[in-house]
């Protein structure tokens, strides 16, 4: 099936960025389980459950979307959750579908570590301007240039995404795409 092929492509791409590797499960007690859920989602960071689900639901079987959910699973929040986001973007909660407002919660510096990286509007973890819009209006915009593209339009992690991933897991910063 296409979904399995796309998940494999995303896993291979992820594995090329870092010493953090997603490998087929053998006997591990704790593991990531890609499921066909009701949407695209993952908990942030490791959960103390045997099978930690990463949902790849309808419309989610894209390499970039799967990479995004994998980054959640290894501990990454949305870039727009950083404590310093207001210096870089405007968030318009009035335009967000209420059940998705959590995607724009702003966390304290002690809760979301950016590992010394600058704010990355090109991150795979940055929501695009119309994410979860309830009315077709922007939910997040660049302060510098409101029409600026936010997030990724391709299926790759930004250089800063890779640097942060490798810093978090103390990997050499190599990229073998």
Question: What's the CA gap between 93 and 10, in Å, rounded?
Answer: 31
68 marked as binding residue: yes
83 is in an annotated binding site: no
**Arch. (CATH architecture) of 2-74:** 3-Layer(aba) Sandwich (3.40)
DSSP state of 142: E
The model's pLDDT over 124-176, given as tens digits with 9 standing for 90+, comes to 999 999 999 999 999 999 999 999 999 998 999 999 999 999 999 999 876 65
78 is known to lie in a ligand binding site:
yes
Fold equal for 2-74 and 78-153: yes
Answer for the pair 64, 6: CB distance below 8 angstroms, yes or no.
no
Instruction: Identify whether the C-beta of residue 145 lies closer than 8 Å to the C-beta of residue 136.
Output: no
Average pLDDT over residues 95-108: 96
| Structure confidence at residue 49 as a pLDDT band (50, 70, 90) | confident
pLDDT recorded at residue 114:
87
Q: Give the whole-angstrom CA distance, residue 67 versus residue 157.
A: 8
For the segment 18-38, what is each residue's pLDDT rounded down to a tens digit? Answer: 999 999 999 999 999 999 999
Does residue 93 register a pLDDT over 70?
yes
**Residue 174 pLDDT:** 63
Distance CA 24, CA 26 (A): 6
| Residue from 3, 28, 69, 177 carrying the catalytic annotation | 69
Identify each DSSP E strand in 37-157 by its residue range. Answer: 40-42, 51-56, 89-91, 140-142
| Domain 78-153, CATH | 3.40.390.10
Please determine, for residue 70, whether its predicted confidence score (pLDDT) is greater than 90. Answer: yes
Domain residue extents for the chain:
2-74, 78-153
Q: Give ∠ CA 125-140-103 in degrees, rounded to 5.
A: 50
Could you confirm whether 148 is annotated as catalytic? no
- More confident: 10 or 172: 10
């Amino acid at each position: 099936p296409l979904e399995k092929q796309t998940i494999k492509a995303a896993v291979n791409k992820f594995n090329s960025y870092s010493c953090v590797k997603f490998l087929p499960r053998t006997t591990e007690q704790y593991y990531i389980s890609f499921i066909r859920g009701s949407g695209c989602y993952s908990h942030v960071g490791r959960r103390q459950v045997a099978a930690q689900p990463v949902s790849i639901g309808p419309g989610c079987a894209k390499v970039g979307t799967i990479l995004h959910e994998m980054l959640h699973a290894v501990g990454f929040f949305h870039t727009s959750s950083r404590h310093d986001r207001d210096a870089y973007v405007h968030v318009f909660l009035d335009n967000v579908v209420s059940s998705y407002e959590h995607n724009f919660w702003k966390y304290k510096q002690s809760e979301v570590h950016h590992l010394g990286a600058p704010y990355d509007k090109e991150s795979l973890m940055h929501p695009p301007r119309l994410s979860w819009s309830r009315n077709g209006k922007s939910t997040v915009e660049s302060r510098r240039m409101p029409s600026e593209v936010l997030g990724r339009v391709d299926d790759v992690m930004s250089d800063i995404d890779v640097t942060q991933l490798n810093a978090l897991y103390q990997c050499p910063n190599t990229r073998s795409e």
